């Protein structure tokens, strides 16, 4: 046990050293040595070098008195246990110091070797326990933060997930109403992602999604939101825009970013995207009945972009919903026709053909 004794009175220091020798001889404290200094300044300098287990501190020193003495020592070694060993039998002072972090308050002339040894051991153990507790609390806070982050972010890309997306979208709409500006919602779907994923494998498909997320983040402001809604579908929320043209510029920037080749599995792969854009202006009714209307509009606009040849962006316009319904009806008619054709052929399992027809029918991704 290495002890720093801060005591300016040589006689008192000698008595304390004798008590420590007695405690050590009785096996109450471990072997070690005592280093003595006479001022708080000297103590701070010694403590900076480290290596001490505990400080025995007189509260009346040439360069510091009372609580100020403890503050100087604690600032030099905040994790080291400090015990006051003073001639001032002051209950209030003792209470205040212990409340502020002093491990114990001992009065000279009222301490024997046994009591001093026990106070030293307990002080060291308490300080160690406090440190362990602080570390445990810090670890729990980190875990809590990680869990909170995981609950609101996509595990693969680190982007906000669908839960956080809805919250950010409502914030953007509220900001647009408050500032009488515009907010835009974009839905982005990667063209031919399923083909790339099936050809190169899911690992490279994940690499593509992560790289796409990075490129999207580079296309927007720090205050905007890029979210992954699932699969190869991303959402971009732009808040506080001056006009619809701002959204068009960002959409064009995103298509340019995606046009650069991706390096996947040792080869260059070219990917395009289809973007649907819905804009919310000064009046909520401009973008539908609240948030669900805006989401539906962006989805419909993306569907039109994909069926218009991909690698493009489309703003939502009234009447697009009816056209989307027509696309879906045509797809359903095609599937029914293929099923009927399969059932009319002898020896052919209609269920197998139905699965194949579904794979070849027009898709939104």
Per-residue pLDDT tens for 22-50? 888 777 787 778 889 999 999 999 998 88
What does the alpha-carbon distance between residue 273 and residue 311 come to, in Å, rounded to a whole number?
5
pTM over 0.75: no
Task: Look up the CATH number of domain 3-135.
Answer: 3.40.50.2300
Q: State phi, psi for 8 to the nearest 5 degrees.
A: -90, -15
Q: Which pLDDT value is given to residue 287?
A: 47
Q: Say which range, 130-134, 197-201, 340-344, 346-350, has the weakest mean pLDDT.
A: 346-350
Which of 64, 61, 58, 60 lies closest to 82, judged by CA? 58
What does the alpha-carbon distance between residue 28 and residue 230 come to, in Å, rounded to a whole number?
65
Q: Which pLDDT value is given to residue 286?
A: 54
Q: Specify whether the CB–CB gap between 154 and 160 falls below 8 A.
A: yes
Q: Where are the beta strands (DSSP E) in 81-172?
A: 82-86, 104-107
Q: What are the strands of the beta sheet with 104-107, ordered from one edge?
A: 34-37, 3-6, 54-57, 82-86, 104-107
Q: Is 320 exposed, middle or buried (0-12, 13-18, 19+ CB in 10 A)?
A: middle
Q: Is 26 exposed, middle or buried (0-12, 13-18, 19+ CB in 10 A)?
A: exposed
For the chain, the domains span 3-135, 162-318, 321-365
Query: What pLDDT digit, counting tens, does each position of 202-219 carry?
Result: 999 999 999 999 999 999
Q: Which pLDDT value is given to residue 153?
A: 96
Q: Which pLDDT value is given to residue 340?
A: 64
Which of 109, 108, 209, 89 lies closest to 159, judged by CA? 209
Element (H, E) at 321: helix 320-344
Go through the chain and tell me how many residues it has.
365
Q: Give whichever of 106-115, 138-147, 287-296 has the largest mean pLDDT.
A: 138-147
User: Strand 182-190 vs strand 233-241: parallel, antiparallel, or unpaired?
Assistant: antiparallel
- Architecture of the domain spanning 162-318: 2-Layer Sandwich (3.30)
Give the CA diameter of the chain. Answer: 114
Confidence class of residue 363 from pLDDT cuts 50, 70 and 90? very low
Q: Is 8 helix (H, G, I), strand (E, B) or coil?
A: coil
Place of tokens 């809805």: 166
């Amino acid at each position: 046990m290495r002890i720093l004794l801060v005591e300016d009175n040589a006689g008192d220091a000698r008595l304390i050293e004798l008590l420590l020798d007695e405690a050590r001889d009785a096996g109450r404290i471990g072997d070690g040595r005592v280093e003595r200094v006479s001022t708080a300044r000297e103590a701070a300098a010694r403590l900076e070098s480290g290596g001490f287990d505990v400080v025995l501190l007189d509260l009346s020193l040439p360069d510091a008195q009372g609580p100020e003495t403890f503050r100087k020592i604690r600032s030099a070694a905040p994790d080291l246990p400090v015990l006051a060993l003073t001639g001032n039998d002051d209950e209030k002072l003792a209470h205040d110091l212990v409340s502020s972090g002093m491990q114990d308050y001992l009065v000279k002339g009222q301490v024997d070797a046994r009591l001093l040894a026990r106070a030293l051991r307990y002080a060291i153990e308490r300080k160690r326990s406090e440190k362990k507790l602080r570390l445990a609390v810090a670890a729990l806070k980190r875990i809590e933060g990680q869990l909170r982050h995981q609950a609101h972010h996509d595990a693969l890309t680190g982007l906000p997930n669908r839960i956080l997306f809805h919250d950010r979208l409502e914030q953007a709409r509220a900001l647009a109403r408050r500032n009488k500006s515009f907010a835009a919602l974009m839905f982005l779907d990667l063209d031919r992602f399923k083909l790339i994923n099936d050809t190169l494998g899911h690992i490279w498909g994940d690499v593509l999604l992560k790289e796409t997320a990075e490129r999207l983040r580079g296309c927007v402001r720090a205050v905007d939101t890029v979210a992954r809604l699932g699969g190869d579908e991303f959402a971009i929320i732009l808040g506080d825009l001056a006009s619809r043209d701002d959204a068009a510029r960002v959409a064009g920037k995103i298509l340019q970013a995606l046009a650069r080749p991706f390096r996947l599995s040792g080869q260059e792969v070219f990917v395009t995207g289809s973007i649907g854009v819905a804009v919310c202006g000064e009046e909520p009714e401009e973008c539908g009945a609240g948030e669900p209307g805006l989401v539906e509009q962006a989805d419909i606009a993306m569907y039109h972009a994909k069926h218009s040849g991909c690698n493009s962006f489309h703003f939502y316009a009234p009447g697009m919903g009816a056209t989307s319904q027509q696309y879906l009806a045509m797809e359903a008619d095609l599937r029914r026709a293929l099923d009927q054709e399969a059932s009319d052929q002898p020896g052919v399992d209609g269920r197998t053909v139905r699965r194949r027809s579904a794979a070849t029918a027009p898709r939104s991704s």
